[in-house]
Amino acid sequence: MASLNTLTFIEAIARAGSIRAAAEGLAITSTALNRRLLALERELGAPVFERLPRGVRLSPAGELLVQHIRSQRADLDRVRSQIADLSGERRGHVRVACSQALLPYFLPREIAAYRRAHPLVTFDIALRDRERAERALVDHEADIALVLEPVRLSEVQVLATAAQPIHAVMCEGHPLAAKAELRLSDFVGHPLGMPSEPYAVRHMMDAAMRRSGVALSPSITSDSFEFLRNYPGLEPMVTFQIPIGLPPAGAMGGLVSRPLSVRDIPPGVLYLAQLRGRSLPVAAANFARQLERALEGAAR
């Protein structure tokens, strides 16, 4: 457990960027915190932090130490979960990093179903874009991640996937609502709302525009998919979403969605993943299996 206490003060210093600021957050004196740090560095035989003119940052040795202790903490969480299972009580804490589209409907439904069977399990849901979701797994800040079109996948194990074609969202009376599917060229001349550039839907659309030569300029750009999902009810604008982020059929409140043709944009892929080589705590592993089954159903 001492190593976990060590991680607490190292992470506090790294976040604050200075020993003095970290000491204030930890409610100890900067002298006491500096003594602990110097003692640790003597024990390691290497500096944990690089001293800069205006603060500190983790050294390469410090990065390795933090990663090791985070791995220890994750293993301890797994053992605690297994011990709780021995008593017949399914306890645990599940940490999920996910794309925005999972937040309104899919994850609330799945978490509620899991907690009906295991009400002692708690959850931490963190909104992360596709790059930061993978980083959360590597840094042991999340047990599992649900992300559309991840950036690398080199350090994670894929548990399940589901194809997600891009849909256009518009009011029922919009001229394009009469079509069963839409081409990129159909949107020329219509007001459009698009996600901002870090998001996978925008990345997929930009790539499709480069391939097709169709140039579309958004009237509104937003990093909120909730905003984009609801805005077409206020003016005849078209926005974009993946199916898993849309309300159930019949509950769109005067809006409709139409798929974009795969001739222009192939479906994206939603990935359920964990850190490669890591044994998940019991609660997280069981919830991941539940999500696998749900994504299999969503892909049909």
| pTM (two decimals) | 0.69
Tell me yes or no: is domain 2-64 CATH 3.90.226.10.
Answer: no
**What's residue 82's pLDDT?**
67
**What's residue 178's pLDDT?**
94
pLDDT for 299 beyond 70: no
Q: What is the three-state SS of 122-133?
A: EEEEEECCHHHH
Lowest mean pLDDT among 1-15, 247-261, 264-278: 1-15
Q: Average pLDDT for residues 50-55, to the nearest whole number?
A: 83
CATH of domain 95-163+269-299: 3.40.190.10
**What's residue 25's pLDDT?**
81
DSSP class of residue 277 equals: T
pLDDT for 232 beyond 90: yes
In whole angstroms, give the CA distance from residue 94 to residue 124: 6
Angstrom distances, CA of residue 234 to CA of 172, 179, 218, 221: 12, 21, 16, 16
Q: Tell me the one-letter amino acid at 289.
A: R
Angstrom distances, CA of residue 192 to CA of 101, 234, 261: 19, 13, 17
pLDDT for 29 beyond 70: yes
**What's residue 102's pLDDT?**
92
Q: Could you check whether 2-64 and 166-265 share the same CATH topology?
A: no
pLDDT tens per residue, range 106-156 = 999 999 999 998 998 999 999 988 788 888 888 888 999 998 887 777 788
Handedness of CA 235, 238, 244, 248 (dihedral sign): positive
pLDDT tens per residue, range 177-210 = 999 999 999 999 999 999 998 788 999 999 999 9
**What's residue 2's pLDDT?**
47
pLDDT tens per residue, range 277-288 = 888 888 899 999
**What's residue 298's pLDDT?**
65
| Other Cβ atoms within 10 Å of 2 Cβ, number | 6
Domain ranges of the chain: 2-64, 95-163+269-299, 166-265
Class of the CATH domain delimited by 166-265: alpha beta
**What's residue 86's pLDDT?**
55
The counts of H helices and E strands in the chain are 9, 12
Element holding 193 (H helix, E strand):
strand 193-195
Please, which pLDDT band fits residue 1 given cuts at 50, 70 and 90? very low
Share of the chain above pLDDT 70, in %: 93
